[in-house]
């Protein structure tokens, strides 16, 4: 049977390990993940950012503004990573999509955007955006997760 001293030592060890549950969170959030409310109208941010916690600041001239943290994608192609508003890195799949844009003369063109597996949308520069109304459907068929591609190869080789 464990002695009283051993029990106290084990309790202290449990306290140490229980305070470090999420080691994925970095020590700080990049300053490029900060959006000032005064310039927010320049972007097409999703509506849920209207409800996030805002931090107020007053500059030397007495002008008051506030800011908040937001999700942002960094990198390109296979090195893409999503730093979330809480500073953690998104572990899910990020899909490349093509958004259809109509010009005033009625012609259409495509612009690159990204979609996460949990449904968030980002423009080509990695900024959050509202979900597009029209995307290129042919692109969806080409976006097969890596696991499914390997399964198709295995299935095809068995036949």
% pLDDT > 90, the chain: 26
121 sits in the region (left: phi over 0; alpha: psi -120 to 50; else beta) called: beta
Distances (CA, A) of 11 to 1, 19, 23, 54, 103: 16, 13, 21, 39, 66
Per-residue model confidence as pLDDT tens digits over 32-79? 889 999 998 888 888 888 899 999 999 899 999 999 999 999 987 778
- What are the sequence ranges of the domains in the chain? 27-143
How many other β-carbons are positioned within 10 Å of the β-carbon of residue 29? 17
Report d(CA 11, CA 7) in Å as an integer: 6
Answer yes or no: pTM beyond 0.75: no
Q: What is the pLDDT, as a whole number, of residue 22?
A: 56
| Res 138 pLDDT > 70 | no
DSSP lists the bridge partners of residue 36 as 67
3-state secondary structure (DSSP) of residue 151: helix
What tokens were used for 5? 């001293």
Average pLDDT over residues 113-141: 82
């Amino acid at each position: 049977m464990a002695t009283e001293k051993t029990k106290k030592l084990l309790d202290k060890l449990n306290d140490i390990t229980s305070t470090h549950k999420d080691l994925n969170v970095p020590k700080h959030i990049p300053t490029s993940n900060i959006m000032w409310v005064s310039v927010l109208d320049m972007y097409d941010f999703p509506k849920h950012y209207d409800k996030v916690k805002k931090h107020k600041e007053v500059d030397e001239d007495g002008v008051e503004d506030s800011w908040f943290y937001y999700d942002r994608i960094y990198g390109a192609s296979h090195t893409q990573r999503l730093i979330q508003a809480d500073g953690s890195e998104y572990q899910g799949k990020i899909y490349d999509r093509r958004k259809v844009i109509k010009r005033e003369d009625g012609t259409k063109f495509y612009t690159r955007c990204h979609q996460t597996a949990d449904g968030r949308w980002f423009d080509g520069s990695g900024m959050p955006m509202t979900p597009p109304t029209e995307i290129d459907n042919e692109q969806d068929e080409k976006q097969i997760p890596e696991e499914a591609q390997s399964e198709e190869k295995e299935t095809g080789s068995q036949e």
